[in-house]
Chain A
Amino acid sequence: MAEKSYDVVVVGSGPGGYVAAIRASQLGLKAAVVERSEIGGICLNWGCIPTKALLRSAEIYHNIERAEEFGLKVEGVSFDGTKIVERSRAVAGQLSQGVQFLLKKNKVDVIVGNGSLSAKRKIKVESDGKVTELSAKNIILATGARARTLPGLEPDGETIWSYREAMVPKSIPKSVLVIGSGAIGIEFASFYKTFGAEVTVVELLDRVLPVEDEEISAFAAKSFKKQGMKLLTGAKVTDLKKSKSGVTATIDIGGKTETLKAEKVISAVGITGNIEDIGLEDAGVKTDRGHVTVNEWCETGVPNVYAIGDLVGPPWLAHKASHEGVMVAERIAGVKGVHPMDTTKIPGCTYCHPQVASVGLTEVAAKEAGHEVKVGRFPFIGNGKAIALGEAEGLIKTVFDAKTGELLGAHMVGAEVTELIQGYTIARQLETTEADLMATVFPHPTLSEMMHESVLDAFGRALHI
């Protein structure tokens, strides 16, 4: 059989890979995707999407528990953990199907198997012991990443879980120890807390959600504690002893040692790129601390070999991977006016309760970068819609450059902020200044009015505070 040849072969069908392939195909390039497991990658199957399905169940449950507050009578509320997980899997399945359809519609060949770089401009695909070779003018590596493991905290699938096991619990454990308070750790903490587990979060750094603005971290922490979550910051798990009933963890908190029993442990200590077994070394592709090294154009330094998404490092976000995929496909196709990613324009969302979302520089980072800043804040308690929704807990913070009026960053905690952040992201992308944001009409009554007020507040003009 003559080997197939393509303009672009993408290894990995996650949100980086499948989007790159579709865009390449749209631009008239013959494209294929090689996938060893499920179409849609971790995001669709084991990440973003199924966790949102779980968290939606948690949110509805939480709201039902509050029914009385809204004048509703609901009795005998309970939940079925199996069904919650089933729904989550069904949602993931539906979307994976959807991506398969999109690839077909865009005439992208899907090739099942382990893809790896072989000779120059060749991709070797192994599937069930059979090896085929594809010839590719351009190769985009998009193999993604997996949970990082720490010695002694290796997930065993039983008592020590990674995100993967945490997503499909057989039942809700009585107690959960979450190690790591980034987006993944905090989302699971929030989910299990809502369904009644005793949750303890251990964070090595001095605050939870450490990449967020300090004020937002503090606000969220206060809210988590109010819900009954135990947060141990500046803390480290030094030992884990497994027993029949779970684990006994030894935790070092700023020099003091504490022991803690939990039924399950969720290890969420970061992720590491899937750099193994894809032929990087032989091809001469460089790696650094678990990720492929690339320049701003996602070029690996080996001609016609690109790498995108989680494989190349933080921020580990699906939308960043997709954007890089589009950028690389357009560069390959010779589209004019393509720009490298600017990480300060990538929004980040955490779907805990309350939600957290941000874009751009934190106040501290802005000052460290030498900006003289103007900071605006507006609390949910000052917003009519938030009060009507019964979601009066939250804060919207904006950081401006005092001289130019550039919106350097926006940071939010509270209901629906993951849907609101896009407004500020557009503002950053279009390089609006405070003047344009002030001149923008925000609909009443909405949560978005707080985005306006926060901007006004930064310049001493807030109306409702």
Chain B
Amino acid sequence: MPIPILMPALSPTMEEGTLAKWLVKEGDEVRSGDLIAEIETDKATMEVEAVDEGRVGKLLVAEGTEGVPVNETIAVILEEGEDASAAENLAAPKPAPAAPAETSPAPETKPAKAAVAPAPAKERPAGGRVFASPLAKRIAKDKGIDLAAVTGSGPRGRIVKADVEAAPKTPARGTGKAQASTSSIDARAFYEEGTFDEIPLNSMRKTIARRLTQSKQEIPHYYLTIDCVLDELLKVRKHLNAEGADAGVKLSVNDFIVRAAALALKKVPEANVSFADDALLQHHHSDVGIAVALEGGLITPIIRRADEKGLAEISAEAKELAARARDKKLSPAEFEGGSFSVSNLGMFGIKNFTAVINPPQAAIMAVGAGEPRPIIVDGEVKAATVMTVTLSCDHRAIDGALGAQLLAAFKSYIEYPPSMLL
């Protein structure tokens, strides 16, 4: 039996990806563990390794192909004694990429793991198989309906024609164009042709468009703003950086912010939550994401258990994550999950802004520039370095008073840094 290699789901949310590069060619012998392809997902480029050994019979998807649906057969590995014609049957086009089980005999669960494993990522479920009639699949594909979003009324919840016809039009998986259409208005209609260049959306842009639209539509955001005096923090930072210079320690204000946020979440655990429709998930650890701007998008790698890490450790980890994010070398495990994010635009001189929550997190902190401002202390005007932060909260999970407590705790850590040592 030739072994199909399926487009792997490198993360739970991955629906399609770009086959960036083949690392093998037809006829090559591969062994378990050999790298065979590079897949570019929404947020990262990942290497895929072979699980079975054999000879590469056929590469079915050309290098550089975008929007390859998860679980589509991308290549076929031949076992000993099989010739390339055995691969032809597996190479037959599939009518609906949403159903992975059509060509392989028993891939009921996690078909992506059958022949390939993503090299760096942890094992994670790749989403269940969608049961739909062949006709329903075809109509869904034609109309750009995502079957995953359709409720089936057939036997055992099978999706039938009537369900698809009754379903509102939603972006379909596997159709690159529909993927990011979060807007019902085609902007092209408003501009004269030739007055603009059309830049196709890359998978990261599509993901940003989809996820943030979903966030703003589904999450009731509210905002809390507070000013933090930074003078003490800057003094401590200067001191620590001077002391640690030889060891290569160079703490940024942001490192302090991450640590303060992690400790605030620990102090106000009711705010360290995710909303899960029928429950609140109160997290045991403070996993804090840092928004990193990239060429053509952004990504939010997560510093896990930041409450248990010192400033130097956070600093080193943040630098390393940001560097790998810019090279698109993060694994999904490094940017998915978390309960809180920090988005800092202070370096651009932004005084104050609001950020969009990154689901499944329940809060994000927008950090402005630390700048000299007049403050009043004991009735007297004084000069101080002040930073304005605005916390966006998911009201389903964090009520106003709770959000305020979290922000107050953060402010106290920032304004009196020695408390961060405790």
Contact = CB atoms under 8 A, between A and B. Distances in A.
Contacts of B134: 430-433, 435-436
Contacts of A432: 133-135
B142 A339 contact: no
A337 interface: yes
Interface string A170-195: 00000000000000000000000000
Which of B95, B133, B135, B136 has the most chain A CB atoms closer than 10 A to its own CB?
B135
Contact of A404 (B142, B153, B154, B155): B142
- Interface SS, A side: loop
B138 interface: yes
Contacts of B95: 433, 435
A428 to B, nearest CB: 9
A109 interface: no
Interface string A329-349: 000000001010000000000
A228 B138 CA distance: 48
Contacts of A433: 95, 134-135, 138
Contacts of A431: 133-136, 160-161
Contact of B153 (A339, A405, A430, A436): A339
A337 B135 contact: no
B138 to A, nearest CB: 6
Contacts of B139: 404
A431 B165 CA distance: 13
B189 to A, nearest CB: 27
B95 to A, nearest CB: 5
Contacts of B155: 337
A405 B161 CA distance: 12
Interface residues of B, number: 13
Contact of B138 (A337, A339, A405, A430): A405
A130 interface: no
A403 B142 CA distance: 9
A337 B158 CA distance: 11
Interface in A409-441: 430-433, 435-436
A339 to B, nearest CB: 7
Interface residues on A, range: 10 to 19
B259 to A, nearest CB: 53
Interface string A391-406: 0000000000001111
Nearest to A430: B133
A122 B62 CA distance: 72
A431 B162 CA distance: 10
B153 A406 contact: no
A430 B160 CA distance: 8
Contacts of B153: 337, 339
Interface string A341-375: 00000000000000000000000000000000000
Interface in B306-353: none
A430 B138 CA distance: 13
Nearest to B93: A435
A430 B133 CA distance: 6
A182 B342 CA distance: 77
B97 to A, nearest CB: 14
Interface string B97-139: 0000000000000000000000000000000000001111011
Contacts of A436: 134
A406 B142 contact: no
Contacts of B138: 404-405, 433
Nearest to B133: A431
Contacts of A435: 95, 134
Contacts of B142: 403-404
Contacts of A404: 135, 138-139, 142
21 contacts: A337-B155, A339-B153, A403-B142, A404-B135, A404-B138, A404-B139, A406-B135, A406-B161, A430-B133, A430-B134, A431-B133, A431-B136, A431-B160, A431-B161, A432-B133, A432-B134, A432-B135, A433-B95, A433-B134, A433-B135, A435-B95
